[in-house]
Structure 1
Amino acid sequence: MRTSITAAACLLLLGAAGMPAHAQSVGEKTGVNSLIGVAPSSQDFVTQAVISDMFETESSKLALEKADEKTKAYAKKMIEDHKKVSDELKSVVQTGDMKLNIPTALDSAHQSKIDKLKGLSGDDFTKQYHDDQVTGHKNAVDLYKRYADSGDNAALKAFAVKTKPHLDEHLKMAQELDNKK
């Protein structure tokens, strides 16, 4: 019984994920697409990529104020790199014939992570920032890989293919930084 309910819920989510929407689809929002390896829609890819970049930038600005020197050096690189990635992604979207929305603010989940970081200091801040960097970059690598493999827009797909190796490197750096606590 439980298995059939779970299967039915997944089918509902997958069906909803295929519907056009201005916001993130249910399948992408719930993680079902990632779990089963389905490429995000072009809108979901742009939404999640831009929000990811905004989160990296905002959390790294806090790290410049609150963290140790090694973490500050990492944070500075994240701010520079993610600004370049965001600018390039926005250029790809705006120069193409895509009718996609580019988010201008963090979603509630990422804003709550920023709010939590703002309330932390010292080792507590550093640990949370490191953890957020590892998790955020794992999610970004997965998002970019799925779109690079099966995305439906050639220009965005080329962008994802080109950018993913940089995100792989960021993830590696975040993991190394996290291990040096």
Structure 2
Amino acid sequence: MKYLAPCLALALLATPAMAQSLGEKTGINATLGISPATEDFVKQAAVSDMFEIQSSQLAQERGDAADKSFAATMIKDHEKTTSDLKAMVSSGDLKVALPTELDSTHQSKIDKLKSLNGGDFSARYQLDQVSGHKDAVSLFERYAKGGDHPKLKEWADKMLPTLRHHQQMAQDLSTGKTVGKH
């Protein structure tokens, strides 16, 4: 068992074209600190934005005052990153297809949020925000450090302070602290 992770890491490194997608899908790349492939990064960043926007729109309807304030910032900021990604794709800088819908994991989270109200909604929304921003920071850090598309790598690095701030805001929200704006 103690040899499983190193063997898996070697297998992933030995087949980088295939491993990136599998590694990102399974979370092994994040665990090992491996940079995602450009296509994986763009897909995950776009899905993360869609989830942040959709879940925050629900929070605007169902959340408490703190959720609504946080959600307004999430919607504004994630619409901006979505716009940035779309601009890079439409300009031809990025030769990848942007997803048009959530993946099954994120859609399940939205469906769960839709079934909740009041305190149950707030607790789940806040948990999803902490988890989602932790994952986003990891994704952007890894791509900024080792991505293979210079313009996208620079953009990922530029977005990190905002994502880290979002992560702190989400943590503060989930612990009942007053959430500051940036």
TM-score normalized by structure 2?
A: 0.90
Map residues 84-95 of structure 1 onto 2, 5 A cutoff: 84-95=80-91
Tell me the percent identity. Answer: 50
Q: CA deviation at 1:56?
A: 0.3
1:65 paired with 2:61, answer: yes
Equivalent residue for 2:35, pick from 30, 36, 39: 39
Residue pair 1:16, 1:27 contacting (<8 A) in 2 also: no
What 5-or-longer segments of structure 2 have no aligned partner? 178-182
The Cα of 1:81 is off from its aligned counterpart by 0.8
User: 1-side partners of 2:137 and 2:116: how far apart?
Assistant: 27
Contact 1:144/1:161 (CA < 8 Å) preserved in 2? yes
Corresponding residue of 2:180: none
- Encode CA deviations 1:19-77: one digit per residue, 9 max, x unaligned: 39xxx700001011100101100001000000000000000011011111111011011
Instruction: Give the 3 Å change call, closer, same or farther, for CA 136–51 of structure 1 in structure 2.
Output: same
| 1:14-53 correspondence runs (5 A) | 14-15=13-14, 17-19=16-18, 25-53=21-49
Give secondary structure in 1 for the equivalent of 2:116.
coil
Which residue of structure 2 aligns with residue 156 of structure 1?
152
Counterpart code for 1:41 = A
- Aligned-pair CA distance for 1:158: 1.1
Aligned length: 177
TM-score normalised by the chain length of structure 1:
0.91
Q: Which residue of 1 aligns with 2:134?
A: 138
Runs (4+) of structure 1 exceeding 2 A deviation are: 2-20
- Counterparts of 1:168 and 1:5, CA distance in 2: 32
SS in 2 for 1:115: helix
Structure 2 counterpart of 1:179: 175
